[in-house]
Structure 1
Amino acid sequence: MSLQHLFADAEALLLDVDDTIVDTRGAMVAAGTHAAATLWPHRPGAHRAMAQRYYDDPERWFPRYAAGEVAFEHMRAARLDEVAAAFGLDVPDDGHHAYEEVYAPAFRAAQRLFPDVPELLSTAERRGMPIALLTNSAHAPTTVKLEALGLVDRFDVVVTTDTLGFGKPDPRVYREACRLLGAGPAGVVCIGDSLPWDVLGAQAAGLRAVWLDREGRGTAEPVASVRGLDEVTAALGGRFGPPRRDR
């Protein structure tokens, strides 16, 4: 489906958070670099690579957390253990706590909003179109991001993994977000950087979806995609139909 048809009569937007509106990869790598330096100061040349590996999560601990299989704290500790093992290191006594103590303030300080987000939010607001956030992160770190960016009161609905105890791509979380928005799934457009979570999962739950492919990776999947949220803003700005005024 073209952007024209996706947005012409859309009732609401459902946005992913991490690496969609917020540069979570940049923040995690920056914070993880500082935290790794605290645990393993004798490996100064490896701290950024450690942080990147933590973000990459090769053992897929974050998807297990999103599926409700492990607790948030367990997921975080397991990712740090995997990094240590990959670099031939041990996590020191109380190392998990020490890592988080350094990581948390550095992560907050590193929060950055992608530059194409503010105009999208303003355009949707002018159209009277509500916006929900749907993230596989937990409520606490999501609040940290929104508070650091001055966005905590900007969204009508925020659905995290804490809401139902699991996250995307379970169809129930998309439908819960739609319910909280007061809109039927068919009238909601989900936008995010994850093809399986933000596009295919949303479509399976009855929503429309757009893949945010910032890096131009492309896919064989027949899905609508954009390179930036400015393309969505253009669609909402009246180019593909009059603004909705009934909400």
Structure 2
Amino acid sequence: MTERTLESELSGIRALILDIDDTIVDTRAAMAEAGTHAAGALWPERTGAHRDMAQRYYDDPGRWFHRYAAGEISIERMRLERLGDVASAFGVQLPGDGVERYLAAYVPAFRRAQRLFDDVPDLLATAARLGIDVALLTNSTTADTSIKLEALGLAERFADLIVTTDTFGFGKPDPRVYREVCRLAAADPAVSVCIGDSLEWDVLGAMRAGMRAVWLDRGGQGEATAEVSRVESLSEITAALADGHGRFGTAAGDR
């Protein structure tokens, strides 16, 4: 099999399909900040543990978010189970109205905590200059995605170019969501590249759907292989697009 380099993945592309959480938006930090605030509102007696509670909710050791993304459970059940796990791990009770109280504190704090990664604006500007369409594919809900994009001033830009779990009732890695986002971007999957932080969802799932893919490994903890193109910053993609504009007019050969 031909080695997958960044240049080969970008050659001749017509669309960039970007993941949102921890790819263009610092969701880990936002969830930690908002979750710490919400845990404090729900369990004020556990002073000093609220940050760790928020981290456990984010880590989701029971993989409830994966079950939600697969369409196996509702968003309400997912949230209930994750909060129940936090309560059990820290020896506290989850009140009957615990999810509602948690969300009442969490949502406004989450909105305030939204931050766009510094390497995103240049990538979007370069894609626009080169005539490459950009669409978003996320396993988050429409409501949560709207919070993020509205807070960052991106809602209008991507209004008709987003696929969430609400689109079909499931998300990545089902091949239908990749095909749908390519349809919205008016680009064939073969000339569309999916970029995201999840090797499972944003790379391998996209490749199985007939797309190209680049793994964004911001922490630099992953291992580069011939089968997967890996970068540590979106700036690498921006630079490759800008430097290779003259070479990227024709799709790559045998893949």
TM-score of the superposition, structure 2-length normalised? 0.93
Residue in 2 aligned with 1:59?
62
Distance (whole Å) between structure 2 residues aligned to residue 184 and residue 33 of structure 1? 42
Q: Conserved in 1, the CA contact under 8 Å of 2:57 and 2:83?
A: yes
Q: Pick one of 197, 201, 205 that aligns with 1:201.
A: 205
Gaps of 5+ in 2: 250-255
Distance (whole Å) between structure 2 residues aligned to residue 211 and residue 122 of structure 1? 21
Task: Give, as a single letter, the amino acid of the residue that structure 2 aligns with 1:241.
Answer: G
1:106-132 Cα shifts (integer Å, max 9, x gaps): 000000000000000000010111111
Gaps of 5+ in 1: none
Distance (whole Å) between structure 2 residues aligned to residue 103 and residue 20 of structure 1? 21
Task: Give, as a single letter, the amino acid of the residue that structure 2 aligns with 1:127.
Answer: L
* SS of aligned partner of 1:198: helix
Q: Pick one of 69, 72, 79 that aligns with 2:72.
A: 69
Q: Does 1:173 align with 2:177?
A: yes
Distance (whole Å) between structure 2 residues aligned to residue 73 and residue 95 of structure 1? 12
Distance (whole Å) between structure 2 residues aligned to residue 241 and residue 7 of structure 1? 12
Deviation at residue 243 of structure 1 after TM alignment: 6.9
Task: Give, as a single letter, the amino acid of the residue that structure 2 aligns with 1:237.
Answer: A
- Give % identity: 64
Task: Give, as a single letter, the amino acid of the residue that structure 2 aligns with 1:210.
Answer: V
* SS of aligned partner of 1:91: coil
Q: Does 1:229 align with 2:227?
A: no
User: What RMSD, in angstroms, separates the aligned Cα atoms of the two structures?
Assistant: 1.3
Larger deviation, residues 103-112 vs 212-221: 212-221
Task: Give, as a single letter, the amino acid of the residue that structure 2 aligns with 1:205.
Answer: A
Q: Does 1:122 align with 2:125?
A: yes
TM-score of the superposition, structure 1-length normalised? 0.96
Distance (whole Å) between structure 2 residues aligned to residue 180 and residue 112 of structure 1? 26
Distance (whole Å) between structure 1 residues aligned to residue 197 and residue 140 of structure 2? 14
Distance (whole Å) between structure 1 residues aligned to residue 67 and residue 222 of structure 2? 26
Deviation at residue 84 of structure 1 after TM alignment: 0.2
Q: Does 1:23 align with 2:37?
A: no
